[in-house]
Structure 1
Amino acid sequence: MRLFRFRSRKAVRSCPPFLRVTLFALLLLAIHPSSVSPAKPLGDQEVGFSFESVVARALGLAVAPYEDSKGQVPDFLLNMDYDAWRDIRFRPQKSLWRGEALPFELQFFHPGLYYDRSVSVNVVDQGRVGRLGFDTDMFDYGRNEFANDIPASMGFAGFRVHFPVNRADYKDEFLVFLGASYLRAVPKGQYYGLSARGLAVDTASPKGEEFPWFREFWIVKPKPQDTELTIYALLDSPSVTGAYRYVAKPGVSTEMEVSSVLFLRKPVEKLGIAPLTSMYFFGENSRPEGVDDFRPEVHDSDGLQIQFSSGEWLFRPLKNPKNLAISAFEAESVRGFGLLQRDRDFGSFQDLEAHYHQRPNLWIEPRGDWGSGRLELVEIPTPNEMNDNIVAYWSPARMPKPGVPMSFDYVMRWQGEAESHAPAGHAISTRAGQGSRTGSRLFVVDFKGGALESLAADAPVMAVISVDEGAKLLEQQVMRNQATGGWRLSFLVLPDASSALDKMLAERRSPVELRAFLQQGSDVLTETWSYSFKP
């Protein structure tokens, strides 16, 4: 089951701080299907380009047989090793719009190694589309000697966008589209961490996950005064096609307004909307057996946060489980969700190269009503930090028939430590260990923020704790934590007595779900902390 994206350790350590469907699209297909054939490029003469142009192409793809483009990249590029691929570098002087006194510049990635597809890149200037041709002169091939053997029509693997985010006199790299439908962005003062994707299909399914890919991009040329960049993308896969519009606004919080229209080619088991992908190796709540590492914690994100339409905020600390774990949260008209890196203390990581304490949060805020569905969190066992093993996404409860459009609009907010989503107190750490009673488990959760900050040490704060089937709550304690300025909840859980057979088959026992929050009288003081453990 291919559920993670490979992350070379060298890449982790040395990477730079890296709709609505209109009648037009439907009528176009009904009147003249060939006019939206995927075989027809938009070309240099297209005028009046718009999002509807991409929607029409996505619809055209959906009613045509799937065509892959893996054969466009020669085998000698796919068979190179990591160091050889890293030796191919884009020449900065060849950056798109270099020397035009524009706020944004683009640089491009070379196909090869893991990137076995090439993508087409177009520039939209005042509504007119021009194809950006691949050219080996754009790249320095270092010690590699195959530049003359590369097809001129191959295309790029992806691109990165530069803008003066951290200081006015230097254009920082702040956004990357590279591989399948992956993208990453950073806000001011942060380093690359977790990734987003255009779409997830059948994640954690027994039949295997399908990875849609962006096969073509259209980038709107900015004006000198612009502070945002618009990018259109055409998504394709054996099961789904889609049209996307990203409006990227770099800054203290890098925001991206996303519009998407999807079409099923054939029925799928599950769609993941606005999927997020991250890495959690170990932290204060879990450390894999046999891991001998000088660092106290290693992760890009440490929790999933959800804002429900009811007004409840929930936080689920991440884990590196022994077996694949899938958690689902019913979320009717979800208001927001994201993967967060709440721990911002360098002392928690002690890593001068990876800067895990400066990895961004990513918050998804739906626009409009997404309807019935659920948030899913997939946690995959990983033996190291080189694999992305955490996936989170929203999955709609109902699927339309093939060819019927689905629209999902949302805002992506890549944020640093200054931003906090939950208005009430929030969990800042989760720890667990052997309890004082035989077979029991002790959980210690620290909360901070909101009204908790102003409460006296003897305030009558109490915890509301729920323990699902499989265990029972024995005791609990809430007290002021003078060291953090917040409040600490400690409670003891005893798994139900099990038979000898259950003990022999411990891995088959269902995990126990825990939920807890703090309140004073009838006032809820914190978000809901949610966790699961194997007895």
Structure 2
Amino acid sequence: MTELSRRELVTFLASLGIALPLGRAAFAQGTGGGGDPAPGAVAADAAAGTLIRFKEPVPYSFERLVEETREAAAKPYDPVDVRFADTLERIDFDQHNRIKYRADETLDLNDGKAPIRFFYLGRYFKLPVGINVVDGDTSRQLIFDPKLFQIPADSPATELPDDIGFAGFRILEPNSERDWIAFLGAAYFRTSGELDQFGLSARALAIDVAMPTPEEFPRFTDFYVGPSAVGGRVKIACRMDSPRIAGVLEMDVKKDGPIVMEIRSRYFAREAIGRVGIAPLTSMFWYSETDRGRRVDWRPEVHDSDGLAVVTETGERLWRPLNNPANVMTSTFGTGSPRGFGLLQRDRNFSNYEDDGVFYEKRASVWIEPKGGWPKGSVQLVEIPTDDEIHDNIVCYFLSEKPVAKGDAIAYDYRLTWAKDQPDRGRVGEVVATRIGRGGIPGQPRPPGVVKFAVDFDGGMVASLPRDAEGVEAVASASRGELGKVDAYSVKVDTAWRVTFDLKATGPEPVELRLYLKRGDETLTETWSYQFLPLAQTG
């Protein structure tokens, strides 16, 4: 069974605005997983046969879901009341972890290629979702039965009615207890990626992130799961609802090395919305090699992602190392109609993390590739202060330049890839490290207020450069302040090239820095686009 640390559960819940106190070290990702019953568990009647039961089949198609959602969005939002809220509140982390889904009741989908198990409701997931299994042009809703779960006799769950409902589901590796994709809470979903380690999350929409008004969290209300028309794949459709918008997200999922989701999304706005983030990703960044001065933990680095990568409409490739700012910071990267963007974990060296519990070096890089032509807009990055690894403090998404008005119908198709590396890496070299320290020259008096940057590039065209290559030039700029001592040279280790420069900038305002390598008229690297925060450096 995939082990998910309590830190990861707390991180996920914190992204929903839910606080959970720290405590026990480990949490099984499959809270409805198999295994022996807990002491005093209520056992199902084995003689009764399978407990999996369905309602009668009904017509199904993605187009039908879209039309039903369009009709629902034309009506006022009908909030769902939480049933037995007081009892569910008592099913806290520890109680929820004791409730296990019966392994012998695993739902067999796609000829054993996608075994499915389900999550129980609890304090952090109080609203039930509908689970439907698709067979061709029909679907059947799974009937909830508490006997599908091994529930300890002293659990508050024994006080709940027999129709309380499921909280979500997860899909396991064939013939294994390990899950590789899970849907639980709001409109979030995540996979274990190419390196089989859960990390950052994706979600359907991000509404009013970092706005003066509270963020709105849409939630998936119904799931439709079945085999894809393409052999070996799984297709998952998700109905979504929210006070100001409703929608359907359909993903055709391939799991073979990188996990690839071909996504179609259709949304209908009940009201005007100030900021609608498309294809949002949510991650955690505490600190990296960039900001050693702020490190308070024994581990060298702690982050699920270390940077935002963007390919603009013109083909420019940007790399923005992540920050842990003192205040909420929103950065906008004008892309036109982007070719792609995503949050990546480029550092794959275990010794740079030294965490043998959650293995940060194995966290997935997630890449969004628009399909069918997206409108003009920008990629936004929101960075939120954090003092620990238990909070998801990084969000990125696409924002159309056209605001969402009441009655708007919105359609976005894209490919979502969970992989070790960015799928489309191009020919240019990439940033592999960003370091900051005191400016000036060692052995000489250090000038006050001067900071030195060292940026390493490797791979692509940089890797093919001879170490004594001539004409390699660093092109650097700053939004304010003075740059000095700009130097580009081969590191003489492996194939990396390094650029160092000094920055003198007074005042607390952020400094936007840009840097790339060129040789004559040829661009050799992506553009390093960094936001330097003087207060963070001196704080």
* TM-score bracket relative to the smaller structure: 0.7 to 0.9
Structure 2 counterpart of 1:207, from 209, 213, 217: 213
Post-superposition CA distance 1:421-480 (Å, at most 9, x none): 2431000011112212221111111000011112122212111111113x1212211111
Which of residues 477, 492, 501 in structure 2 aligns to 1:466? 477
Deviation at 1:288, TM superposition (A): 7.0
Of residues 445, 455, 466, the one that matches 2:465 is 455
Counterpart CA distance in 1 for 2:207 and 2:380 is 13
TM-score of the superposition, structure 2-length normalised? Answer: 0.86
State the match for 1:501 in structure 2.
none
Q: 1:301 touches 1:340 (CA, 8 Å); kept in 2?
A: yes
Q: Distance in 2 between matches of 1:53 and 1:43?
A: 19
Selected match of 2:236 from 193, 215, 231: 231
Distance in 2, matches of 1:243 and 1:206, equals 27
What secondary structure, in the 3-state scheme, does the structure 1 residue paired with 2:463 have?
A: helix
> CA separation of 1:196/1:442 partners in 2, compared to 1, >3 Å: closer, same or farther?
same
How far apart in 2 are the matches of 1:296 and 1:138? 44
Shift of 1:171: 6.6
Helix, strand or coil at the partner of 2:310: strand
The equivalent residue for 1:145 is 155
Q: Is the 8 A contact 1:198 1:275 kept in 2?
A: yes
What is the alpha-carbon distance in structure 2 between the residues aligned to residue 418 and residue 350 of structure 1? 24
In structure 2, relative to structure 1, the CA distance for the partners of 1:160 and 1:3 (3 Å cut) is closer
Superposition pairs of residues 491-530 of structure 1, within 5 angstroms: 491-496=501-506, 506=508, 510-530=509-529
Cα distance in 1, alignment partners of residues 275 and 421 from structure 2: 33
| Structure 1 counterpart SS, 2:166 | coil
Secondary structure of 1:430 counterpart: strand
Uncovered stretches (5+) of structure 1, i.e. residues with no partner: 19-41, 499-505
Segments of structure 2 that go 5 or more residues without pairing to the other structure are: 1-12, 32-53, 441-446, 535-539
Aligned to 1:112: 122
- The letter for the 2-side match of 1:54 is L
Any idea what SS the aligned residue of 2:15 has? Answer: coil
Q: Letter of the 1:296 partner, please give it.
A: P
The amino acid that maps onto 2:58 is: E
**Which amino acid in 2 is paired with 1:343?**
D
Amino acid at match of 2:170: R
The amino acid of 1:67's aligned partner reads D
**Residues 12 and 386 in structure 1, CA contact (< 8 A), matched pair in contact too:** no
User: What is the distance in 2 between the residues matched to 1:522 and 1:137?
Assistant: 69
Contact 1:17 1:190 in 2 (8 A): no
Cα gap change, 1:17 to 1:513, in 2 (>3 Å): farther
SS for the counterpart of 1:286 is: helix
Aligned counterparts, 1:87-486, within 5 A: 87-97=98-108, 101-142=111-152, 144-164=154-174, 170=176, 172-221=178-227, 226-287=231-292, 289=294, 291-417=295-421, 421-436=425-440, 437-459=447-469, 460-469=471-480, 471-486=481-496
- Alpha-carbon distance in structure 2 between the residues aligned to 1:482 and 1:400: 52
Identity rate, percent: 36
SS at match of 1:59: helix
User: Deviation at 1:72?
Assistant: 2.9
In 2, distance between residues paired with 1:148 and 1:323?
45
CA contact (8 A) 2:73 2:268 kept: yes
Cα deviation code 1:153-211 (max 9, x no counterpart):
222111111234xxxx5474111111100000123432001100001100011111000
Find the residue that maps to 1:54 and give its secondary structure: helix
State the match for 2:95 in structure 1.
Answer: 84
User: Which letter maps to 1:58?
Assistant: T
Q: 1:295-339 CA deviation, whole Å, 9 max, x = no partner?
A: 000010000000111011100001111111110011211010000
Deviation, structure 1 residue 403: 2.4
Q: Deviations over 1:254-278 (max 9, x none)?
A: 0001001111110010100000000
Question: For residues 108 and 298 of structure 1, what CA distance do their matches in structure 2 show?
Answer: 31
**1:373 partner letter:** G
Output the CA distance in 1 between the equivalents of 2:527 and 2:153: 55
Contact between 1:187 and 1:251, CA under 8 Å: does it hold in 2?
Answer: no
CA distance in 2, matches of 1:144, 1:122: 31
3-state DSSP of counterpart to 1:72: coil
Structure 1 residues 524 and 366: alpha-carbon distance in aligned structure 2, compared to 1, 3 A threshold: same
Which letter maps to 1:63?
A
SS in 2 for 1:58: helix
Normalising by the residue count of structure 1, what TM-score does the alignment of the two structures yield? 0.87
CA distance in 2, matches of 1:445, 1:279: 22
Matched letter for residue 518 of structure 1 = L
- Name the stretch that deviates more: 214-223 or 388-397: 214-223
Cα displacement (A) at 1:95: 1.2
453-462 or 522-531, which deviates more: 453-462
RMSD between superposed Cα atoms in Å? 2.4
